[in-house]
Structure formats: C-alpha cells, structure tokens
Amino acid sequence: MFSASRIARWRGPLLAFLMGQPVVQFLNLFTGFCLVRWLDIQEYAMFGITFAFQSTVTQLTDLGFSGSVVALAGSRSHDPEVLGGYLYSARYWRSRLQGGILLLAAVAFPLIVWKQPWDTSVKLLLFISISMGVLFQNWNMYGAALLVHRALWKYYTPQIFGAVLRLAFCAGLYISGLLSACAAAISAALLLGYTGISYRRSSRTYVQEPLNCEPSRNAEMLRYLAPIIPAAAFTALQSQVLVGIIAVFGSTQNIAEVSALGRIGQLFVLLAAFNAVFIEPYIARVSLAILGRRYFQILGAAVGISAIITTVGFVIPQPLLWLLGQKYAGLHEEIGWVILNSSLCYLGGVMWTIHAARRWVFWWSTIVYIGSTVLVQAVCLLTMDLSHTLAVIKFGLFSTCVGLGLQTAIGIYGFKSGKSCE
C-alpha cells in the first residue's frame, strides 16, 4: 500500500508535524488552562468574550480568501508566481473587507458587553486587542506557502517560540499580581503578529507576488468563493450567537463557564491542524480514480478517533474538570456534551476540508445551510431556557448537527456529479 518512495517523501514532513504540532498545541493549551485558573471569574469572562469576538471578526474579514489559496493553486502550487498571485489576491480581498468589518465591530462589541458591569476603559482596551489581532492575522496567510512546500519546521518554529514568550509573559504578570483580561488578550494578539511576520519572511523563497493587481485572478478567486461566502459569514456569526445569547440571558458566571468549557474543545486542535497541514494539500492533488478510497479512509479514521474521545468525555470527565480548576468543578454533565459537540465539529471540518480542496462548493448548500440553521436555532430560542450553561451548549450542538448533515449531503452530491478540481 505504501511504497518506499512515498514513505521517504512523507517521513520528513510527518516527523516535523508530529514533533511541532503537539508542542504548539501543548503550549497553547497549557497557557489557556493556566489563564482559566489564574484569572478570576469576571476577568476570565472578559477574556473569553473578547477571544470569541475576535475569532468572529477575523473570520468575517477573511471569508475563506486565505484558505482558498491552496485549492486554487492545486497542482501548480509549487510555481512561485502562481502561489504568489493567489496570495496577492487573498490579501487584496481581505484588505477590502477589513476596514468595514472593524467599523461594524466597533458598534457591535459595546452592544454585546453593554449588560456587563465592566469599566468603559476596560471595554476599550479589550476592543483594541481585538483590532490588533485582526490586523496581525493578515500576515499569517503566508503560512500556506510553507505548508504547500512542506517546510514544516519553518512553519512551527515561530509558533513555538512565540507561545513560549506568551506563556512566560502571562506567568510573570500572574506572579507579580498584574495579570488581567486585557493583558492576556493583548499578548495573544502580539503572538499573531510575531508569527505572521515570521511566515512572511520565511515564504519569500516560495512566493513571487505580482507587482500590480491582477483583476483576472481576483475574479477567479471571487467566483470560486462566491457560493460559500454567505455560508462563511453566517458560520462566523454563529460563534458570536452563543456569546451573545449567554451575554444577554446569562450572568458573568455563565460567560466564564462557557468560555472555560470552550478550552476543552481545543483538545481537537491537533486533529484539526492535520486537516490543513496534510489533508487539504494532498486531496487537492490526488487523482479522481483514488479519491473515493482516500475519502473514506480519512473519514473512517476521524470517526473512530472522535468516538473514543467522546466516550471518555462522558464516562471519565474528572481529568478534564481538573484542567479547568476548582472554580469550574461542578460542570460534570456539561463536559461530555462539549466534547460531543467538538467531535461533530471536527468531523464536519474534515469533510469540509476535503470538499473545499476538490472545489465541491455549491450555491444550494449555502441556502440550505443558512435556512436550516436559522430554523433550528429559532426553535431552540422558543423552547429552551438559555440562561443555563448546559442549555447554551446544547443550542450549539443542534446547530453543529445541521452543518454535519449538510456536509454529508455535499459529499454524496460531489461524488455523484463527478465534479473535480482536475
């Protein structure tokens, strides 16, 4: 099944991934769980809502443009001019979105935190950290060039070094009694900036960007993404829906609990990273003749891993509760449901990675996704008491099930239609 040449070709990248990604994930997870323990309930609620809002704004300023680079380059991704051209187009579209989205965010963030009894100066600093993170995220798209060329040591080294610096910075503030939500949020934004600058510098040998704008390439990228841009925007807003619900219906305690439980979902980061690092570039180049076999091999492995992790979450939640600390020791039931939701999100992400790499993007899927999700969420809003943490988690779970069902339908349609990126 695996030839000697294939093993030799993948050995270096796999070694870099298996050494680099776990270290990055461990450092980020460790820092995250330290913040859960180090910050009090109110400070962590501030940090949690800021982190979630920044993630949403970042997605809205991108809408899939940076992620489309690998799929559009396809088998030509090793050509510096082709790869550079698509990176330039991604930056072009992202820069067009960024200013307007940040203006809207400047209006939306105060409304979301209006009910919370936090000082105005603190809310302002939190929004500044959000803006910094969004701006610095622009440079991280150059990591795509490193992934395409399997230069994984260059990809992981700045992440590891930056994560160590961030952990040391937060630990120093904690020891001195100066750690706050604002400091934690700003440190996360600075980490994005450092990583992005490093990626841009390291990708120079792989990328040759055009001197001037290329309207034809920009139009090609827009045509490719047009069917999924509405769904991408809607998906970005979904994470904010949960934050908004808990901010409106719940208390600071509920915000902190939902944010802390979200850290448990980060245990899937290693698996999700495998999607971008290996699955997407591989599936984008694989021949149609073996696509079906590879599809079910990858999906079967993902289902098996998810089933094991979910079972552990429901049967043995104590180790995960220990990670969160004594302030969240009463969330026994919630842990299992969070893991289940994260597992289904991961499965949907695996399927989406494959579908996007093969350019299986359709207008009908966007319409069905938005319509069915809104319907399910409307029913939940009318029938559930969303002032409780567990209810909000289940609200998110029902929404995740809609997305997973749609990805299943897209996979079936993609194989039947025979549409391919070749």
pLDDT in tens, 366-386: 888 889 988 998 998 888 888
Question: How far apart, in whole angstroms, are the C-alpha atoms of residue 402 and residue 111?
Answer: 28
Question: How far apart, in whole angstroms, are the C-alpha atoms of residue 389 and residue 85?
Answer: 46
pLDDT in tens, 390-412: 888 898 899 899 989 999 999 88
Higher local confidence (pLDDT), 7 or 354? 354
Question: How far apart, in whole angstroms, are the C-alpha atoms of residue 374 and residue 287?
Answer: 37
Q: Which tokens is 284 given?
A: 């984008």
pLDDT in tens, 196-206: 899 988 888 88
pLDDT in tens, 130-181: 999 888 888 888 888 887 777 788 888 999 999 999 999 999 999 999 999 9
Rg (CA), the chain: 21
Q: What is the DSSP letter of 150?
A: T
Question: How far apart, in whole angstroms, are the C-alpha atoms of residue 191 and residue 139?
Answer: 12
Confidence of residue 422 (pLDDT cuts 50, 70, 90): very low
Contacts for 291 with CB less than 8 Å, ≥ 6 apart: 283, 358, 420
Question: How far apart, in whole angstroms, are the C-alpha atoms of residue 327 and residue 322?
Answer: 10
* Burial per residue of 224-261, b for 16 or more beta-carbon CB atoms within 10 angstroms, e otherwise: bbeebbebbbbbbebbbbbbbbbbebbebebbbbbbbb
Question: How far apart, in whole angstroms, are the C-alpha atoms of residue 50 and residue 384?
Answer: 26
Question: How far apart, in whole angstroms, are the C-alpha atoms of residue 127 and residue 196?
Answer: 20
Please state the domain extents for the chain: 1-223, 226-422
Confidence of residue 103 (pLDDT cuts 50, 70, 90): very high
What is the structure's pLDDT at 9? 59
Question: How far apart, in whole angstroms, are the C-alpha atoms of residue 203 and residue 84?
Answer: 10
What is the structure's pLDDT at 184? 93
Question: How far apart, in whole angstroms, are the C-alpha atoms of residue 96 and residue 61?
Answer: 9
What is the structure's pLDDT at 7? 53
Q: Determine what percent of the chain is predicted with pLDDT higher than 70.
A: 93
Confidence of residue 421 (pLDDT cuts 50, 70, 90): very low
Length of the chain: 422
Residue 214, helix vs strand vs coil: coil
